[in-house]
Amino acid sequence: MSDTFSHTTSEAWVTRSLQLAHSEAAQHVFTHLFTEQALAQARAADAARQAGGPLGALHGLPITLKDNYDLAGHTTMAGTVVCEGEPPAARDAVAVTRLRQAGAVIVGKTNMSEFAFSGVGINPHYGTPRNPCDAVVARVPGGSSSGAAVSVALGLAVAGLGSDTGGSIRIPAALCGLVGFKSTQSRIPLQGVMELSRTLDTVGAITRTVRDSLVVEGVLSQQPLLAEAADLRGVRFAVPQTLFLDELDPAVAQAFARALTRISAAGAQVVELPLSALSDIAARSQPGGFSPVEGFAAHHARLARAPERIDPRVAARMALGEGVSAVDYLSLHNRRHEWISHIEAELQGFDAMLSPTVALVAPELAPLVADDTAFFKANRLLLRNPSAINYLDGCAFSLPCQADGELPVGLMVSSLRGHDARLAAIALALEPLLAAA
């Protein structure tokens, strides 16, 4: 899976990961490290390799888990403190079981936005991992899979298991210069993942390369996408002109324009498409939207038991779901299904959509900690583009497209539900193109 692994043993790599986990750069990345267990797993992996037996796709490779995944014997905290004292999980999440069966070494559980309910990645309980992209200015890592992304960016793991409800894999991947893949929701079971929104939650991982993401996704889904890089000549891309290009940072706009030029030069057809229905999502999500409504349903007992122990910024958003009637909730689903059908019809004849993953480069951390207005503006702009793909029940990659010396920028290539294999082939073709000098 990784060239790095061919030059070392699993024990050496895991030992290095655990040492780096205690470095200043990795501060606030982990909520729990499995030091002894990880080293024992790594030694067993090396012994199995020497014995010449069959090896799993992730054999001996260090992986991190977002803190909202169940691990048998551990209370699932999901970036909060209000879960302290709750019973430990009786069994591993399905995704974790599949990682173990493939030979992965679980290094630790990673920090996240509380209850996965923010695209920024700030956590007032456990601290906020610093984005490694800037050694001078402290910047947010993106959320909600903040620690997952930083663990990969720092080389502590080949993949960070995350979850994506409105962009929580693709946002930190974009801000940290990594690859994030949100597959069609139904491909990977959600059992054992603490719920935010059962309608939108998606299991996935953050990696350094598209190929690595496909290996991990194949393990998690048990339906490997056996894709090879597509010939971009004749591939037809839609570039939506509604919503996705609003309020872009100049650096994001520049990187996106450069990426479109390269993609066109490679022979692909790039078509500007109004896709005006994208502007309807907010109205169709009234009165609360799936995440507040379903999040409140999942966590209302915790909110009632100890509201003072929950980040007010998270509690305020969840409270939007309180009092939403069954009639309104079912209407949310009906309006979404109608919208998906409309978008699918408009995108007939296109292989995929292209857009910036998020409208911003990684914002500075301090102003967002200090000011609610700044925080919620950044949160809105970070979630806006990727969340539309969750609402579509589509699939999407975030691919790095910045030039050397620039802050990371993600290009989102996305498609309709069930088109994961074709999208993977396109992402494999785009990746080296975007990395070209």
The residues with which 63 forms a beta bridge, in sequence order, are 106, 159
Task: With a cut of 80, say whether residue 6 has pLDDT above it.
Answer: no
Per-residue pLDDT tens digits for 207-226: 999 999 999 999 999 999 99
Assess contact for 353 and 413: CB atoms under 8 A. yes
Q: What is the 3-state secondary structure (H, E, C) of 347-405?
A: CCCCCEEEEECCCCCCCEHHHHHHCHHHHHHHHHHHHHHHHHHHHHCCEEEEEECCCCC
**pLDDT value at 1 more than 80:** no
b vs e for 173-196, b when ≥16 Cβ sit within 10 Å of the residue's Cβ? bbbbbbbbbbbbbebbbbebbbbb
* Residue 3 pLDDT: 53
Give just the sign of the alpha carbon dihedral 74, 77, 79, 81.
negative
Q: Are 368 and 122 in contact (CB under 8 A)?
A: yes
For the stretch 170-205, pLDDT in tens is 999 999 999 999 999 999 999 999 999 999 999 999
**pLDDT at 5 exceeding the cut of 70:** no
pLDDT tens digits for range 250-301: 999 999 999 999 999 999 999 999 999 999 999 999 998 999 999 999 999 9
* Catalytic site positions: 66, 144, 168
- Residues 246 and 352: beta-carbon distance below 8 Å: no
AA letter at 396: A
- pLDDT band, residue 84 (cuts 50/70/90): very high
pLDDT at 8: 85
Residue 70 clears pLDDT 70, i.e. is over it: yes
Rounded CA-CA distance 420/320 in Å is 33
pLDDT digits (tens, 9 = 90+) for 89-121: 999 999 999 999 999 999 999 999 999 999 999
CA-CA distance, 128 to 113, in Å (whole number)? 9
pLDDT computed for residue 2 by the predictor: 55
Q: Is the pLDDT of residue 358 over 80?
A: yes
Average pLDDT (31-45) is 98
Q: How confident is the model at residue 380 (pLDDT cuts 50, 70, 90)?
A: very high
Q: Cα 38–42–47 angle (5° rounding)?
A: 150
Using CA atoms, how far apart are residues 91 and 98, in angstroms rounded to an integer? Answer: 13
Residue-wise pLDDT for 386-419, tens only, equals 999 999 999 999 999 999 999 999 999 999 999 9
